[in-house]
Each structure stands twice: as C-alpha cells, then as structure tokens.
Structure 1
Amino acid sequence: MPDLPRAAGLAYREAGPSDGPAVLLVHGWPESSHMWSRPLRALGEAGFRAVAPDLPGYGSSPLRRPATWALHVEALETFRRAVGLDRVALVVHDWGGLIGLRWACEHPDAVTALSISDSGFFPDGKWHGMAKAMREPGTGEELVAQLTPEGVAGILRSLSPGMDEEALAEYGRAFATEDGRHAALDLYRSGNFEELAEHDGKLAALGVPTLVLWGEDDPFAPLAGAHRLVAEIPGAELDVIPGTGHFVVDDQPDVFAERLIGFLQRATMSA
C-alpha cells in the first residue's frame, strides 16, 4: 500500500515543481490516482505541477457514503483548495469526466485548459449495459456482490492488457468491503444525465483550449462521443490513440503522456 500525502481527507500523487503550471488529473471508475503514475512523472519532468487525488473510497482515500456524484464534485473542490491549486488544466477520464467537468462548469474561473478522455457530458447520455444493471434495484445488488477485488481484477484484465498486477491490486482495493462495493451503487444511481441540462453549453463557454484524447476501440464510451464533444466545443482538438480501448491511459501511458504534454505546452504558450 503506497504511503501517499493527504489533503482534505484525500490521498494524492504529485509530481513537478510547486511553481509550475498546475494540472489536476481526475481518475475514473473503478481506478485511482495510480492510473496517472506515468503521465504524472512525465508532466513533472516537463515542468508542470501535476496533482492527482484518489477520490473518496478509491486507492488510499477513505470511503464516504452516500458516495454520490455530487459528493465527489464537492470533494474535488475541497481538495483543490487544500493543496493550493488556483487555476488548473483539468485532465479527466471516465467517471472523472462526469465529476471533473461538472466541477469545471461550477468553477469556470479555475480552468485554464481541458483534456477529456473516454467519458461523456451529455444531457441525453445513455448508460452502457453494466451501468444499467447497477442502476436497477435488486440487479445492482446481485452484481456488486460479485465485485470482489478478485472479480474486479478479472474484469479489468480482460479489458486492458496494459494493467499489470500492481494496478489490478490497487484498483481492487475499493471493493474489499461490502460497504465499498455498495458505494458503486451510490455513484451510478446518483448519475442522472438529465441533471446535465443545466450545464448545457457551459464547456464551450469556458473558452479554454480543449483536447479530446480517446481510445480507438472503446466499447463503453464509443468514438462517436469524442466527435460530439469536438463538435460542441469550439476549437477542440481530437486525438485518437490506436490500439487502445476504454482504459486508454493504462493501455498506452507513455503515448497518452506524450500527446497530453504536447497539448498542454501549446495551450500554455497561447495563454
């Protein structure tokens, strides 16, 4: 178990100079800040201050229930302030997108750039099969009963060849207890896409450089969502990484880092 620093009750990883341009990286489900380990190191070497929290209940951060979408958004803002981040380039993946982009819409003056991967932020969004099952009373309880650390590792191993045993063990920690497994139901059942109607158009209104960096073969957040984001956000760039799926960062962490850093360097120069 890594010995990580904590702020506002959340464990986090950090790299780079304290006075470098700030980058805030928000992991998805069912991962932790571990997914950002190699991009964090590369960002730090490139002169950025890169910070990635473990959201409540994931990695080394203690669980908070009910573990709703709103709770995670609030936890992210409290964490940002606690670690002294002012304006940040926001980098998100999967549920980190739903959480981080909602945070960005609520704190537009704190955002300098966006990088969005394999997520969605659409009021008419649709849940994929596993998510639908978790949202269904009874069916969800039966499903999460199978999401032991070993069960989660088996699922992730089949979806991402880039995840090694260390990563699988790290991501499985959130499911070591019944409380942790049921927190997944809190999250998915609180995720009503209709709530995003109040944020419709707000990503575009941020007016910041935006990269849509996607896995080529994502079965959960298909490439059509990436094209839609690019169409809805003026000036957004689309970058698709070949040979990757939904877990694009784990699949190709060094390629992901290279593409991200190139974008952030261009965004910093144009600021």
Structure 2
Amino acid sequence: MSQPTQRIIKVNGISLNVAEQGQGPLVLLCHGFPESWHSWRHQLAALAEAGYRAVAPDMRGYGKSDRPEAIDQYTIFHLVGDLIGLLDALEAPNAVIVGHDWGASIAWQAARLRPDRFHAAVILSVPYRPRGPAPPTSLMPQTAEAQFYQLYFQQPGVTEAEFERDPRLTLRAMLFGGSGEGMAATRSNGTPSERMLSAGMVQRSGGMLPTGTVPSPSWLSEADLDFYAGEFSRSGFRGPLNYYRNVDRNWEQLAAFDGVKVTVPTLYIAGDQDVVTKFPGAAEQIANMKQSVPLLRNTIMLPGCGHWTQQERPEQVNAAMLEFLRELPR
C-alpha cells in the first residue's frame, strides 16, 4: 500500500499542510491535542483501500501548517472556516468529517453549522456538549491545591515553557498517561499527583509532567514518537494551547446558535478508560446525546481503550467507521 502524500494548501488566509491518500468520496480527518495528521496513519491507509479519498490536515498551529501568534486567531469559527476552505481548495462539494479530541469538538460544530458541506460525522472521544449556562472556565473544577488542566493551560507562556523543555518526554508522558495502559498503571501504583492528573487535575505547586521515567505505550513505535517530537520541537506548543485559550470566546460566539442540533448521520466511538468520558457530566452527555444529535447511528465504547482512540484501537475504529460509511447514501 502506498504512503500518504503531503502538500501545502492555502485556505482561509493561512497555509495548511495536508496528508492525502486514496481516491473516491472525501473523508476529512481532524486530529486533536497534542497530535498531528500522523495520528490518522492507520485510518488513511484503511480508507484509501476501501475506496475513499482520505485527507488529514495538520490543524492550524500544528506541524507544518501556519501557526498565527495571536490567541484570538484560534476561535471555533477560524477552525471550522479552515475546513470549509479546505473543501473549496479540494473542489469537494461535501465530505464526511471525522474528529478526535479537539478535532472532535471542531467536527461537531462543523457538522452542526454546515450540514450542507459535512453530510455525516464520525466523532471520537469527545461527546456532543450542549452550550452550558456560563463561560466554560468559570465551571471548571479547582481547589486550593489543584486546578483543572484547561485552567493550567490558560496563562500564555507557562505551559509552553514546561512542555517545550523536552518535547519527546512531553509527548511520551501524555500519550502513555492518557492511554488505557497508562490509566491502568496509575490505578494500580500511581502516586497521588499521578492519580490526580488522571482525573484531569494539575497540582498548583508543580507542572503537569511526571518527574520519573515514563514508558512508551505498546501501540506507539519509537519512530512514531520521534515523528511527533520532531514536529513539536519545530513548531512548539503555543498554537495548540491557544485552542484552550478560546473556550470562553467560543462560548460567547456560539450563543446565536444555541439549540441548533447536529442533523447529519453520526457515529460516536470512545474508550471506556478515556478520561474525557469520566469528566463530570460526560456520562449523562453520552447517554442523552440523541436529543442533540437525532441521527446518531451508534455509540461504541471500546473496552480498555484510553483517550487516543484511533491509535490505540485502529482495527476496531476502522471497522466501525467503514461500516458506518458503507451505510451512507453515496
């Protein structure tokens, strides 16, 4: 099987690097934090082999794509706009959108706001969340000793300094810590701070990264880790962290669309050990998702799988995604 090809495409006032493989109906794959197009390496090949044109961009701020400096250049409207621009550049009237982590949040909004361009959605990890009653950061948990990791990300420069000291260690720690293997290890012999972090909390007295040695997860090769580390060594973490610095701004900007449902056929897949599915309210959001996503076809919970869904369980994700795609009207 051939490898994906990469090229730079001008969209929405910036340049995006995209990886492409295959011919046929377009499937657009949106990665999350802290990843790149490479997190879809197993899906690009499977989709191409099944007769689809799979396209995975380095999202704005990542990899070889442009990374604007200003925080306000990473709102949900910029991110959805990038994808619309990508469809236009690819001369595609529409596509199936697939998203994981931050890519899932973007994919939800893309399908919700532009069902004319995104006619179906496959969402990994992050369930659909209706608009809350107050700005998101005001509702995030914090105590005198610890704060929710997204609050730790808010102050520009602080998290960048920690993560950029050793990008390879940062990536290894995050990819292991959030995986099913990492969650199991933390439960059995984790320190109090590691157990706190596995619940999404960061101690105020220290950073987010562990101080000891960190194993690599079994599903990640050293070559894959080298690739990720190389990308972040070059591009840094500011762009990716700026996504989190817009959550309150996104809440304000999406007010006009409150109550608008996701009206396209949708598949939701998550790991039963994914910390995102254990956040306060997430179980209820998953159970009630059909109220906001009336064409939700299926909810699949993968046993033992952590946060990195399509990398931890590529064969199961690919099989479920291809079955969903085959059932869509061509």
- Which bin holds the TM-score, normalised by the shorter protein? 0.7 to 0.9
1:152 CA drift (Å): 2.0
CA gap 1:12/1:238 in 2 versus in 1, 3 angstroms = same
CA gap 1:241/1:119 in 2 versus in 1, 3 angstroms = same
What per-residue deviation string (whole Å, max 9, x for no partner) do you get for residues 3-24 of structure 1?
722212211112221xx22211
Equivalent of 1:123, from 116, 131, 140?
A: 131
SS in 2 for 1:10: strand
Equivalent of 1:133, from 152, 155, 159?
A: 152
Q: Is contact 2:111–2:119 with CA below 8 Å preserved after alignment? A: no
Residue 172, structure 1, aligned to residue 199, structure 2: no
Q: Report the AA paired with residue 252 of structure 1.
A: R
What per-residue deviation string (whole Å, max 9, x for no partner) do you get for residues 204-250 of structure 1?
3x2x2111111111113436243332342113111111221111111
Question: Which runs of structure 2 are paired with 1:1-271 in the superposition (5 Å)?
Answer: 4-8=6-10, 9-17=15-23, 20-66=24-70, 67-69=73-75, 70-120=77-127, 121-124=129-132, 129-135=148-154, 137=155, 141-148=157-164, 149-153=167-171, 154-160=173-179, 161=217, 162-173=219-230, 175-176=232-233, 180-192=236-248, 194-195=251-252, 196-204=254-262, 206=263, 208-222=264-278, 224=283, 225-236=285-296, 237-268=298-329
Equivalenced residues, count: 260
CA distance in 2 between partners of 1:194 and 1:158 (Å): 29
CA gap 1:127/1:26 in 2 versus in 1, 3 angstroms = farther
CA gap 1:214/1:123 in 2 versus in 1, 3 angstroms = same
1:173 CA drift (Å): 4.2
What per-residue deviation string (whole Å, max 9, x for no partner) do you get for residues 63-85 of structure 1?
22325133322222222211222
- Please identify the structure whose Cα radius of gyration is greater: 2
Pick the structure with more helix per residue: 1
CA gap 1:11/1:47 in 2 versus in 1, 3 angstroms = same
CA gap 1:60/1:3 in 2 versus in 1, 3 angstroms = farther
Q: Report the AA paired with residue 157 of structure 2.
A: E
Q: Is contact 1:118–1:226 with CA below 8 Å preserved after alignment? A: no
CA distance in 1 between partners of 2:106 and 2:230 (Å): 21
CA gap 1:42/1:246 in 2 versus in 1, 3 angstroms = same
What per-residue deviation string (whole Å, max 9, x for no partner) do you get for residues 127-146 of structure 1?
572112112x3xx6333211
Q: TM-score, normalised by structure 1?
A: 0.85
Q: Report the AA paired with residue 227 of structure 1.
A: A
What per-residue deviation string (whole Å, max 9, x for no partner) do you get for residues 174-228 of structure 1?
5326x73232342211112634443334343x2x211111111111343624333
CA distance in 1 between partners of 2:5 and 2:321 (Å): 27
CA gap 1:156/1:84 in 2 versus in 1, 3 angstroms = same
What per-residue deviation string (whole Å, max 9, x for no partner) do you get for residues 46-102 of structure 1?
111111111123233232232513332222222221122211111111111222222
CA distance in 2 between partners of 1:54 and 1:243 (Å): 28
Q: TM-score, normalised by structure 2?
A: 0.71
Gaps of 5+ in 2: 142-147, 180-216
CA gap 1:150/1:79 in 2 versus in 1, 3 angstroms = same
CA distance in 2 between partners of 1:229 and 1:51 (Å): 27
Mean alpha-carbon deviation: is it higher for 3-12 or for 212-221? 3-12
CA distance in 2 between partners of 1:197 and 1:228 (Å): 21
CA gap 1:183/1:76 in 2 versus in 1, 3 angstroms = same
CA gap 1:77/1:65 in 2 versus in 1, 3 angstroms = farther
